Amino acid sequence: MEYKKMKKKVLIILKSFLVILFGVFLFNELSGPSMSLTDFAVVENNVMKKMTDYDLEKQSRQTIKKNLGIDPSNYENIVYYKSQDPMDVREIVIVKFKDINQGDKFKEAMLNRIDGQIKAFNGYGVDQVGLLKKAVVSVDMNYAIYVTCDKANNVISLYKEQL
């Protein structure tokens, strides 16, 4: 009889432990960052309002491949704006991922872009290298942004407000 009571207590403790463990896991999953449901065009338009001081032009899908080393067809949406002046490194990329697992690869591509630009301008483009060293890449669940400009942090803040 004693053995049955002890076995029953152990089972109750084990069940309680599993329920608590499941509850903690569920809480962590539900309280994490969430996917943005904001329309891509809204994010793009509002962020680009902040960039009107710069003469940036929307780039083609071919230019995205050539300059950034990424295939735009891999993403749900992507825009790339860049100065037409070859001596101006100001640019911005906004992307909405098809899959949140694309974030690391996107960030790596943008960091490679920044490094390549720094190497290209190193030695004669002091102002450009300074801007590139202040460039920001932010990956936020199903959206990401890369900005090179003198007010990159302000642009990032506005972008995050849109999500």
Looking at the fold, whether 61 and 27 belong to one and the same domain comes out as no
Looking at the fold, whether 147 and 72 belong to one and the same domain comes out as yes
Looking at the fold, whether 50 and 83 belong to one and the same domain comes out as yes
Whether the pLDDT of residue 115 is over 80: the answer is yes
Looking at the fold, whether 142 and 65 belong to one and the same domain comes out as yes
Q: pLDDT value at position 29?
A: 56
Domain region containing 82:
40-162
Domains of the chain: total:
2
Looking at the fold, whether 17 and 94 belong to one and the same domain comes out as no
Looking at the fold, whether 93 and 45 belong to one and the same domain comes out as yes
- Specify whether the CB–CB gap between 100 and 107 falls below 8 A: no
Looking at the fold, whether 78 and 141 belong to one and the same domain comes out as yes
Residue 151 dihedral angles phi and psi, to the nearest 5°: -120, 45
Whether the pLDDT of residue 122 is over 90: the answer is yes
Q: Which residue has the tokens 């932010």?
A: 138
Looking at the fold, whether 5 and 85 belong to one and the same domain comes out as no
Strands in 56-58's sheet, in edge-to-edge order, are 56-58, 77-83, 91-96, 143-148, 136-140
Whether the pLDDT of residue 94 is over 80: the answer is yes
Q: What are the structure tokens assigned to 42, written together?
A: 């809204």
Find the mean pLDDT for residues 127-147: 96
Nearest to 157 by CA among 134, 130, 136: 136
Looking at the fold, whether 94 and 152 belong to one and the same domain comes out as yes
Looking at the fold, whether 47 and 68 belong to one and the same domain comes out as yes
Q: pLDDT value at position 20?
A: 73
Looking at the fold, whether 21 and 57 belong to one and the same domain comes out as no
Whether the pLDDT of residue 14 is over 80: the answer is no
pLDDT tens column, 51-91: 998 999 999 999 999 999 999 999 999 999 999 999 999 99
**Of the given ranges (22-31, 106-115, 117-126), which has the lowest mean pLDDT?**
22-31
Looking at the fold, whether 53 and 110 belong to one and the same domain comes out as yes
Whether the pLDDT of residue 27 is over 90: the answer is no
